Structures are given as structure tokens and as C-alpha cells.
Amino acid sequence: MLDTLRHVIEAHGGLENWNKHKALSVDLVVGGMLWGLKGQAGKLERTNVTVGLVEEWASHQPFGPDNRRTRFSPDRVAIEDAQGNVLEELAAPRASFAGHALETPWTEPQLAYFAGYAMWTYLNLPFLALHEGVTVEDLPIWHENGEAWRPLRLTFSDKIATHSKVQTIYVGDDGLLRRHDYAVEIAGDSPAAHYLGNYVTVDGIKFPTERRVYVAGPDGKPMRDLMTVSVDLSNYRFA
């Protein structure tokens, strides 16, 4: 394990502690311009998500009206009613985004796919960097906000559904994640600069309670007037 990654894992609570758990739930308040742009405003404004910590899966509830819920996995996504009856499903969901740009509207199953893989990725980091389908390498020091951050480049296996094959996480001196960069492949490879902050500790594991995602410019700097997604997180609990 790289020294930087070892520092990050320990700062977030340690692998032994993390491996005690199989699933994680958290309450979300979601905003930003992305949802209206995709024709799906309000569907995830106030919701809960549960994600797997071993296998890749996620479920949001409520999803829109009538307390519907989602079931996400890399090769299938479904929308169910409150009793678990399948209302709509999409197999091989990644292929359905072929030709999409940032402005291309999404269907509800496409929204469920994006939200599922995104929250699975976010909530499993930084421990996800130790997944057998992820390789990690150090990058040169990055200076931002008067700090020197240590970046790690993550390269994901094609078996993992996530934003893009190559992503970068940035680590402060305390070992906590400050920033997460990626391109949203299913939205025309739109570049994103994702900031994390206001950490809390739950069962010995540190989690951010604030996430803000901006369009990233060619120089890697966030375009602060273009906030695509905001997420406020509370009531973390291991399931």
C-alpha cells in the first residue's frame, strides 16, 4: 500500500474497523443545477440512500412520489413501489447513455443508475481505493486553499460502475479527503471538481457531511458559478 493511501485509510478510521460493516445508510438533502438540466428536478431532493460496502449496490428511498425506491447494480437498475413490486427496470444501463451530452435529459431509470453508482462511489471512498478492481498511484503535490494536498490517481476496472475509469482524490495533511475529480462519462465526459467537508465520526469512521460539485475548467479550477450538485448528509448509520 502506498504511504499516502495508508495515511488516508488510518485517518478515516482504519480498514479493520471499516471491514466490520456490510452496508451504510445516510439521509440526503440534494440540490444543484444537474437535476433540472436532466428533466428530473425534485426526485431526490430529500431522500435516504443505502449502499453496499462489499458488493456494488445502492437503493434510494423515497424516489419521487408515492415512496418509490430504486435498486441499483452495475448491470441492472429498477424502480419499485413501496411493496417491492418492479414498476420499471433497465438492463445494461450504461449502454443507454450512448451519445449523451451534459444537456441530454435522463429517464427515471437513468437517474436511478447515476445516483446509485455515484453515492456508492462516494460513500465507499477512501476504502474503495483498496478494492481489487482499483489501482492507485501518487501524483505531484497540488496547492489549493492555502494548503498542499497530496493527490492519488485511481484507475477503476471496467467491472465497476462509476463516473470515469480514471479519477483523482486529494488528501489534506490530516489524511482526510478534500476534493475528488472525475469526468462524468454518461454526461458527455463533463469534468467535475467535487469538494468534501465538515466531517463527523460514526462508529470510529469519519464521513463528510457536505459535498459540493462544480464544473471544472481546463486548468482544473472549479467554476464556482456552475454548481452541478450539492449534497448535505446526516444521520449516518451502518446497516
pLDDT for 86-103, tens place per residue? 999 999 999 999 999 989
When pLDDT is averaged across residues 195-213 and rounded to a whole number, the result is: 98
When pLDDT is averaged across residues 138-143 and rounded to a whole number, the result is: 96
User: Tell me, what DSSP letter sits at residue 158?
Assistant: T
For 37, the enclosing helix (H) or strand (E) is: helix 34-37
User: Tell me, what DSSP letter sits at residue 123?
Assistant: H
When pLDDT is averaged across residues 188-210 and rounded to a whole number, the result is: 97
CA distance 38 to 40: 6
When pLDDT is averaged across residues 72-78 and rounded to a whole number, the result is: 98
When pLDDT is averaged across residues 32-61 and rounded to a whole number, the result is: 96
Q: What is the pLDDT of residue 65?
A: 85
CA distance 193 to 30: 17
CA distances from 167 to 22, 24, 180 (A): 24, 23, 7
CA distance 213 to 32: 8
Burial 114-129 (b: 16+ CB within 10 A, else e): bbbbbbbbbbbbbbbb
Residue 207 has pLDDT above 90, yes or no: yes
pLDDT for 102-122, tens place per residue? 899 999 999 999 999 999 999
When pLDDT is averaged across residues 73-77 and rounded to a whole number, the result is: 98
The pTM (predicted TM-score) of the whole model is 0.97
When pLDDT is averaged across residues 141-161 and rounded to a whole number, the result is: 96
Q: What is the pLDDT of residue 239?
A: 83
Q: What is the mean pLDDT of the chain?
A: 96
Q: Considering only the top CATH level, what class is 3-238?
A: mainly beta
Q: What is the pLDDT of residue 111?
A: 98
Residue 1 has pLDDT above 90, yes or no: no
User: Tell me, what DSSP letter sits at residue 140?
Assistant: -
When pLDDT is averaged across residues 189-213 and rounded to a whole number, the result is: 97
